[in-house]
Chains A and B, each alone.
Chain A
């Protein structure tokens, strides 16, 4: 659609391809991630405040609704401080890499049946792969800062992400075994209809396997939620940026817009993993109760509804992440590793085998 428009405009398929590619890839950023981040940062502060019987930001706008906008204006105006002993090329490039990694994941996330950045056949696999860029970026940031806290933070972060990728992969694998697809779009389409077709309730259809799968799916969901929580460095797995130990971890030395990029990447990541959980287990963009568009016979309403459902599911899991943040204290490093290697990975393995047997039936 957009490609055709640019072909008409430029009369050249190459330029049209590039232009439409750039425009399409910027669309989720400006249409979704930035507004979401604006909302999520405020929501985080509000949720944390109300969970501690405080009020949170109240001064800018009604109940502080414009607080994040004011913060962003402040961050844009701030001086970009680069300490003299930092490794400058790497220091400047690291936030870009981190943001690129977390942003690339959005290419394969199905927002609605009509809008999905790239309908790659390997959707979920691709998302896990590009997360590797985030790891490299964090390592780069920690190294380039030439600061022991940054380096420690990035080391911890990388060790954590690498170990928690294993349970994530195992759960994804077990789901791929059940659904026989890696495309998030197909996966969402399979869970259409009502909420009992979601994979958390054993997947579509009514057979013996469905009911046998329910406990395994529940375990799988808990494992993937915990491990993705660790992958985005959220509390209780926030040892990479533990304020009380490491100042701010790998982004200690960053200020201004570079810090904002890390911040944005963190919040984008939070949504990305929530969206993955929603797409794998909770029907993706499918409505749990049917569509208003079908009821009224309005065809164009359905994609919008799907988008809203998807956003709502993602935001719910983001809310649970915040909820957990203000409930649990931080884990120690050895406890963190113990959770991954002694608990999540063996259970995920057993779960994988059990699901394999059930699907064979």
Chain B
């Protein structure tokens, strides 16, 4: 076991444990803040995989953007003075069956697949390659994604205006 393994297990444990708390915690605010650590752990794992750009985009988009908006939304839409932000459990039996099936299939896939192992080399910076690919090979998809986001933006703006 070397340092990278140790760090991987650290980040993996952070991700899994905080993910567990996100699901089980009954207070939405707590779930939101545990989500922060989940995202952070995932970003760490990306870094260990050599995907530095994706890791930082993960931090910017999920921690800096989505998580903050989520917490913001929760805090603004609930009455702050008398805290009643709780999540309940419903539909236990169908959920158990579905989760069991999903876990089983995931485990089967994990066990049955033959993993490709590559000896670890020092990871190269990926930004330039990523940029070239986005602009050349996947230009259409990239543009389409941009248009989808723009549509979402326009939709949100028109909903927010609500002129009588």
Contact = CB atoms under 8 A, between A and B. Distances in A.
- Does a CB–CB distance below 8 Å link A and B in the complex? yes
Interface of A: 13-14, 17-18, 87, 90, 120-122, 125-126, 128-133, 135-136, 139-140, 143, 148, 151, 155, 158-159, 162, 165, 182
A159 B68 CA distance: 9
Contacts of B64: 128-129, 131-132, 135, 162, 165
21 contacts: A13-B3, A14-B1, A14-B3, A90-B30, A120-B52, A121-B52, A136-B67, A136-B71, A139-B71, A139-B72, A143-B29, A143-B71, A143-B75, A148-B80, A151-B75, A151-B80, A155-B75, A158-B68, A158-B72, A162-B68, A165-B64
A133 B67 CA distance: 11
Nearest to B81: A148
A322 B1 CA distance: 50
A13 B56 contact: no
A139 B68 contact: yes
B96 interface: no
Interface string B3-45: 1001000000000000000000000011001001000000000
Given A148-B80, A151-B75, A130 B52 contact: no
A151 B81 CA distance: 11
Contact of B60 (A13, A129, A140, A158): A129
Contacts of A135: 64, 68
Contacts of A14: 1-3, 6
B63 A136 contact: yes
Given A90-B33, A151-B75, A158-B68, A132 B2 contact: no
Contacts of A130: 59
Contacts of B56: 122, 125-126, 129
A122 B125 contact: yes
A132 B36 CA distance: 10
